[in-house]
């Protein structure tokens, strides 16, 4: 199942199931028509008991009656998760990316975070003030979305707490990241976490540790790897995080980026006005973001 958030233009974004590019079922409206109570926010939906079965009923009803069915071509696509409680990130989680920055291979996961205000959708423009940062960089990342709450879970149980996956771009202001002594500002400028295009549920993804991942900047492929190169897998990461803090439904876990980021290239490739960044992951789709200076 592919979940997104959509709007026809004037109303607040709502959760939808994307059956194909042209067919989106508005979960709340279809649920109402089918007599199934389904919340309007993705984080609340993921926290709903047996939400998959209820959404299936709503979709079935929509297909039978037309209630809640939308033409996908007429919709604006928003971030699949609009307001996660937490955005947890993992640094240096691909061996060759650690090496390209001259960093040792970590022995335990290196965690940091982005504020929830970084989250942006597949149709949002990435913009920044060039007098504030001059070194904006892209990072292609597989993002795990937490389903069932996770507190002190063992690695062997951890994937039961992952609802699904999406494509993410851990946009980073390198001058702030490397100049501040820690990464809070460099990683958390508004809109610096584009995600999408849809949340693909875990059952449809198959093995999350065997997916091609890439980044194209203005059509040129600058990152190309596979999630099979992750140092710490999703199960280890969810377990590791959950021993320190509770992971809630809708929390995002950015799992790290492969080599090829702009700052370590010769010469460096930094994002500027009009640039187009496309991050793709096998089975999850592509997320294309336009850049514009404020
Ligand atoms: Zn990252």
> How far apart are the CA of 72 and the centre of ligand 1, in A?
31
Show the tokens assigned to 85.
Answer: 């409680």
> How far apart are the CA of 2 and the centre of ligand 1, in A?
24
Distance CA 115, CA 84 (A): 9
Which of 111-130 are b and which e, b meaning 16 or more Cβ less than 10 Å from the residue's Cβ? ebbbebebbbbbbbebbbee
Q: How many C-beta atoms lie closer than 10 Å to residue 180's C-beta?
A: 12
51-65 and 27-34 are packed helices; what angle lies between their axes, rounded to 10 degrees? 80
Structure letter (DSSP) for residue 174: H
> How far apart are the CA of 195 and the centre of ligand 1, in A?
13
Q: How far is CA 178 from CA 135, 138, 173, 213, 257, in A?
A: 10, 15, 9, 26, 17
pLDDT for the residue 148: 96
pLDDT for the residue 99: 82
CB 33 within 8 A of CB 61: yes
- As averages over each run of 10 residues, the pLDDT of the chain (294 residues) reads 95 95 95 94 94 96 96 97 96 87 90 98 98 98 98 98 98 97 97 98 97 98 96 98 98 97 94 98 98 97
Q: What is the CATH number of domain 87-293?
A: 3.90.850.10
> Interior CA angle at 248 toward 244 and 251, to 5°?
95
- pTM strictly above 0.85: yes
pLDDT for the residue 95: 84
| Residue range(s) of every CATH 3.90.850.10 domain in the chain | 87-293
């Amino acid at each position: 199942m592919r979940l997104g958030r959509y709007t026809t233009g004037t109303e607040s974004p709502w959760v939808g199931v994307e059956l194909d590019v042209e067919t989106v079922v508005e979960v709340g409206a279809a649920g109402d028509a089918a007599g199934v109570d389904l919340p309007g926010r993705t984080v609340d939906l993921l926290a709903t008991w047996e939400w998959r079965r209820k959404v299936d009923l709503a979709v079935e009803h929509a297909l039978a009656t037309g209630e809640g069915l939308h033409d996908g071509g007429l919709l604006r696509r928003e971030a699949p998760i609009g307001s996660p409680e937490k955005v947890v990130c993992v640094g240096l989680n691909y061996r060759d990316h650690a090496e390209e920055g001259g960093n040792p291979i970590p022995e335990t996961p290196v965690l940091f975070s982005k504020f929830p205000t970084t989250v942006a959708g597949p149709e949002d423009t990435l913009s920044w003030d060039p007098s504030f940062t001059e070194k904006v960089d892209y990072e292609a990342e597989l993002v795990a979305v937490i389903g069932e709450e996770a507190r002190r879970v063992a690695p062997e149980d951890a994937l039961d707490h992952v609802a699904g996956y999406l494509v993410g771009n851990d946009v980073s202001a390198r001058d702030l990241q490397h100049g501040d002594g820690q990464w809070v500002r460099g990683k958390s400028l508004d809109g610096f976490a584009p995600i999408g295009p849809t949340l693909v549920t875990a059952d449809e993804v198959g093995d999350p540790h065997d997916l091609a991942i890439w980044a194209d900047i203005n059509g040129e492929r600058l990152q190309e790897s596979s999630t099979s190169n992750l140092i710490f897998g999703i199960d280890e990461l969810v377990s590791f995080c959950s021993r320190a803090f509770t992971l809630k439904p809708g929390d995002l876990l950015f799992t790290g980026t492969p080599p090829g980021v702009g700052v370590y290239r010769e010469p460096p490739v930094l994002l500027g006005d009009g640039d187009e960044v496309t991050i793709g992951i096998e089975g999850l789709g592509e997320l294309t973001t336009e850049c514009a200076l404020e």
